[in-house]
Amino acid sequence: MRIHTGENIFSCDVCKHSFNWKKTQTTDLRTHIGKKPFKCDLCKRTFYQKSNLAIDMRTHTGEKPFECYLCKCSFNFKSDLATHLRNHTGKKLFKRDVCKPSLNQKSYQMLHMRTHTSENSFKCDVCKHSSNWKNVLVIHMINLTGEQPFKCDVLKHSFNQKSILAIHMRTHTDEKSFNCHVGKHNFNWEKNLAIHMSFHTGEKPFKCYLCKRSFNVKRNLAIHMKTYTGEKPFGVMYASAVKGFLNMLAEKLPFKAKVVNYEMMQKEKEQKQLLEELNENEYSRKYFIRNNMLGCWDYVSPYEVEWDGRFR
């Protein structure tokens, strides 16, 4: 009945808060005196409540007792399951006061509101940089000092962000935690999974505003847009980097080959046209083969016939 009446008969002598359950009062008292009677045998962490110890044990055992009945995803916490279910139902409880879209978590709403208030609570002591996010300020300070506290144990590389180190470590472990639910493909990057899924769905969200063509990858749209500006999509540094590899590949081919680019092919084409115009002998190889003079088709290869004697 205390739930309905709202009666709080147990009060705390320290903070003057009142509670409707004795165990809640006991837990509150422990926070004042710093008593944590529940200890984890694995990580030695201590807790005020037995329920918190049970939650901590799930991180060690990997137990995820809360399962989504729609997609069979499982979670450590009931609150995470509730948040996940909103993604299926599309239910968004928290509305923004300034702009129209709503969000499915209160924490997201609080973070989003900072973009409207322009509140920069976190300021750099060295320069005048300020941010409304604490983690952005921490990264800024690391960039100023040049500190790279996160190190790779395999290659001894160091990074200024833990998330970048985690991404780097996937190259060593070959971890592929992003799975396609349609086929059996696995990916180590979320963006690669998103690109792969677009082939299944046919979705092409990146559209050209000039010719209305659409692409499933943003970089393909960027390359396409350079066809209008005349800008070359691949720079000189990129070409010089791959030229050595292509030369090595050309030497291993069973036929004669060389590395060329578009400009070289155009120049070669112009030179051939100039030689044909200057050639006074009308009985050229091209004329000879095209007209099957002396029955040459009987002893030349089909490739020579097709390509006017340029290739055998």
The length of the chain is 312
- In this structure, the answer to whether residues 35 and 136 fall within a common structural domain is no
- In this structure, the answer to whether residues 12 and 72 fall within a common structural domain is yes
Write down the pLDDT at residue 94: 47
Degrees to nearest 5, angle at CA 15 with 14 and 17: 120
- In this structure, the answer to whether residues 31 and 126 fall within a common structural domain is no
Amino acid at 71: C
Q: For residue 19, tell me if it sits in a domain.
A: yes
Q: How far apart are CA 300 and CA 106, in angstroms?
A: 79
Write down the pLDDT at residue 271: 83
Of residues 85, 62, 63, the one with CA closest to residue 72? 85
- In this structure, the answer to whether residues 91 and 147 fall within a common structural domain is no
Q: For residue 196, tell me if it sits in a domain.
A: no
Write down the pLDDT at residue 84: 77
Q: How far apart are CA 100 and CA 96, in angstroms?
A: 6
Print the domain residue range for 132: 120-175
* Cα radius of gyration (the chain): 34
Amino acid at 249: L
- In this structure, the answer to whether residues 14 and 70 fall within a common structural domain is yes
Q: What are the start-end ranges of the E strands in the chain?
A: 10-11, 18-19, 38-39, 46-47, 66-67, 74-75, 94-95, 102-103, 122-123, 130-131, 150-151, 158-159, 178-179, 186-187, 206-207, 214-215
Write down the pLDDT at residue 60: 83
**What are the structure tokens assigned to 197, written together?**
């899924």
- In this structure, the answer to whether residues 28 and 93 fall within a common structural domain is yes
Q: For residue 139, tell me if it sits in a domain.
A: yes
What is the full per-residue pLDDT of the chain (312 aa) written as tens digits? 555 666 666 788 878 788 777 777 788 778 888 888 888 888 888 888 888 888 888 878 878 888 888 777 888 778 788 777 777 766 555 454 555 555 555 555 566 666 666 666 678 887 877 776 777 777 777 777 778 888 888 887 888 888 788 878 877 777 777 788 777 788 877 788 888 888 888 888 888 888 888 888 888 888 888 777 666 555 444 455 567 777 778 888 887 888 887 788 888 888 877 877 776 666 677 777 777 777 777 777 776 767 666 655
The residue to which tokens 């769905």 are assigned: 201
- In this structure, the answer to whether residues 29 and 95 fall within a common structural domain is yes
Q: How far is CA 115 from CA 11, 52, 174, 202, in A?
A: 40, 34, 38, 34
- In this structure, the answer to whether residues 15 and 111 fall within a common structural domain is yes
Write down the pLDDT at residue 20: 74
Those residues whose C-beta lies under 8 Å from the C-beta of residue 225, and which sit 6 or more positions away, are: 208
- In this structure, the answer to whether residues 69 and 133 fall within a common structural domain is no
- The long-range contacts involving 301-310, CB below 8 angstroms and separated by at least 24 positions, are 309/285
Q: For residue 200, tell me if it sits in a domain.
A: no
- In this structure, the answer to whether residues 13 and 62 fall within a common structural domain is yes
- In this structure, the answer to whether residues 8 and 84 fall within a common structural domain is yes
The total number of structural domains in the chain stands at 2
Write down the pLDDT at residue 125: 81
122 φ, ψ (degrees, to nearest 5): -110, 115
User: What's the pTM?
Assistant: 0.32
Q: For residue 257, tell me if it sits in a domain.
A: no
Q: For residue 262, tell me if it sits in a domain.
A: no
Q: How far apart are CA 55 and CA 63, in angstroms?
A: 10
End-to-end CA distance of the chain: 97
- In this structure, the answer to whether residues 133 and 58 fall within a common structural domain is no
Three-state secondary structure string covering 228-286:
HHCCCCCCHHHHHHHHHHHHHHHHHCCCCCCCCCHHHHHHHHHHHHHHHHHCCCCCCHH
Of residues 70, 24, 69, the one with CA closest to residue 48? 24
81: domain CATH number is 3.30.160.60
Q: For residue 183, tell me if it sits in a domain.
A: no
Write down the pLDDT at residue 266: 84
DSSP, collapsed to helix, strand or coil, labels residue 261 as coil
Beta bridge partners of residue 11, listed in sequence order: 18
Q: For residue 310, tell me if it sits in a domain.
A: no
Write down the pLDDT at residue 237: 44
